[in-house]
Structure 1
């Protein structure tokens, strides 16, 4: 099959979306498909320091994947300009699409940003290419939940686009069973929705897991290392880690590392300095090899979501932590989809973001019980192998694509 994948972030950019679609594209290529990716030109703030001054080709073949990049203005911390960027992407990508002068059997589009639904609609009207919308997050609900989106007119506009996307998509995939219910309740056809977890190629992840020298390099071999590695945005509730660190400050052999970047990084830096939270270290995004080195060197990893988050989302980092056999503390709403998966896999302990004392108690419980940590980590790896195998995911998508192609002909 000739598959077009569309995602706003792609390698060499760092982050969940970039690597989720890079890995999935490689899985398609390994199964004999021709894969093209339309994406944005790498943004400096999403790159490793060593890559920030590099020039990247507009067209490039990476591991058998034909990557086509689009240049446009990009900001991270100004919400209005970031939102404006999202609304300009459909036409920018569509212009690039027409220049490719290629015919595809099917398109797979990563959402958010939600306006990329309009790109899908454009290519369908242009040459009849059917499309699958892969909802990784649900906007505007998540933006409303955490108080980022308050303008009533903008909320109505985004909800209108959301309903159109659910109604008109040829097919929709979501990350959880809760996502199926969420989309159906908003007008989606349950016959055209399927739950497919994000997956990983375990053989590739295992290559990274050989390295475990982060503690030695940091001079913290004698410390119990607790890590949060991921995006630093209002959705994650990362500030709760600072609160628990203050409670556990007297535990001199416990140290927290927050690894990542995003909208609230500066706020975290200011709080750490102002409140003298000396048992928390803040590092920027790391190359993939070093990211896994940090995870593999950690004693506990944290998955965190703001308590106000009600939409059924799954943090992208979850599959990586499971692959690395990490015991997880999930600081997430207890009725969330993330909590459901953690409990189903029995790979960690769920703690409500509002209960910081329980968070501290859970850390101490796991710190003193190495057997439990290993058991939880092993359970996560097993669940991943059985439910998040990327080869199986690629096959699941193939079956969806085949139905759409058959329907088209």
Structure 2
């Protein structure tokens, strides 16, 4: 979302971002800032208000719930420091930021646009993380309330739009605005030779997963696929990131004695394109129980870098259609390590297919997911909210 803020600023709009101090997904070696309740700075021409809140990442479900509720107060407080505003753009999850936007909308007398990236609480219910009639009803009521009062709801795929339209509470406009990738960060011909050399991956066929290692990502299936392929000496699984499941996954790999799986911490946004370019294949995985039609954004990075992907997802995900329409990879059902291993082996054995899929993915991203298209759409939609 910060890229969107910078893009709108470059188009002569006055943009203020309200966010928390960074406390998760931090690249190795990055320094944690000293935190006060709030700080106001300029980043890339954008006014950024950072606020303190309770931690809600890499913690248990109860602490996460409390942290997300506290986030409502923190973001509302930060928004009060923003001065006069014409419109509010907020993303979900966490859904509680939508509650903060609703409060600020009333206080500032400005409409808010809700960008829904994942369908909470349904995704948490699917994963078994959110249980019990009362908690489920509480968050479903919050979802209805936030949807109902938004001037506009944006989603990143058609299936997400259908899901929200099916809710009687969603009486407002719903628009599909695809997520984007900054293609300038992935110049044609980008390679990851330096990264490969640094981590001893020269000559390896690198299968990459980079991102959050949480309950939804189904990395157990990836580890089981690695076990199946452990006799293929050149195939190396590289799992980059952090999350509540990482420590357990590291222990699992140690228990199995797998030498073809390596874990690395998060890399910075600036180094991420080089990381993706160092891979031969990118992985996109979600648990079989995940029925919401989410499109993991890492697919766009793989496409931009010209790397094919293997998507292990349920048929409900719109990501399957993207991979098939682009011809940029192989899709397999979620939760099946045998089929996942077979797809990886097929790509390993066909360098020509790798190049063709990677090339098609890059071309598809250039047409469907450039940043300028998303900027145009959000600029138009925000302006339309002001004249309603």
Residue of structure 1 equivalent to 2:104: 123
Larger deviation, residues 141-150 vs 345-354? 345-354
Residue 162 of structure 2 is aligned to residue 162 of structure 1 = no
Question: Structure 2 matches for 1:185-334, cutoff 5 A?
Answer: 185-187=166-168, 189=170, 192-206=173-187, 209=190, 211-334=192-315
4+ residue runs of structure 1 moved beyond 6 angstroms? none
Larger deviation, residues 70-79 vs 145-154? 70-79
Q: Is the contact between residue 166 and residue 187 of structure 1 (CA under 8 Å) also seen in structure 2?
A: no
**Please, which of 12, 15, 21 is the counterpart of residue 41 of structure 1?**
21
Residue of structure 1 equivalent to 2:90: 109
| 3-state secondary structure, aligned to 1:34 | coil
Residue of structure 2 equivalent to 1:98: 80
Distance 1:342 1:311 in 2: 17
Residue of structure 2 equivalent to 1:6: none
Give the unaligned 5+ runs of structure 1: 1-20
Q: Is the contact between residue 133 and residue 169 of structure 1 (CA under 8 Å) also seen in structure 2?
A: yes
- Check 1:185–1:303 CA distance in 2 against 1; reply closer, same or farther (3 A cut): same
Distance 2:302 2:116 in 1: 21
Distance 1:63 1:48 in 2: 20
Residue of structure 2 equivalent to 1:55: 34
Give the unaligned 5+ runs of structure 2: none
Q: Is the contact between residue 306 and residue 361 of structure 2 (CA under 8 Å) also seen in structure 1?
A: yes
Residue 71 of structure 2 is aligned to residue 89 of structure 1 = yes
- Cα RMSD (Å) of the superposition? 1.8
Question: Structure 2 matches for 1:63-78, cutoff 5 A?
Answer: 63-75=44-56, 76-78=58-60
Distance 1:329 1:193 in 2: 30
TM-score by length of 2: 0.95
Length, aligned pairs only: 385
Distance 1:80 1:107 in 2: 29
Distance 1:224 1:204 in 2: 23
Distance 2:310 2:67 in 1: 35
Distance 1:35 1:200 in 2: 21
| 3-state secondary structure, aligned to 1:85 | helix
Structure 1 residue 124 displacement after superposition: 1.8
Structure 1 residue 406 displacement after superposition: 0.8
Distance 2:340 2:268 in 1: 29
Distance 2:337 2:74 in 1: 45
Q: Is the contact between residue 339 and residue 350 of structure 1 (CA under 8 Å) also seen in structure 2?
A: yes
| 3-state secondary structure, aligned to 1:288 | coil
Distance 1:278 1:351 in 2: 25
Structure 1 residue 397 displacement after superposition: 1.0
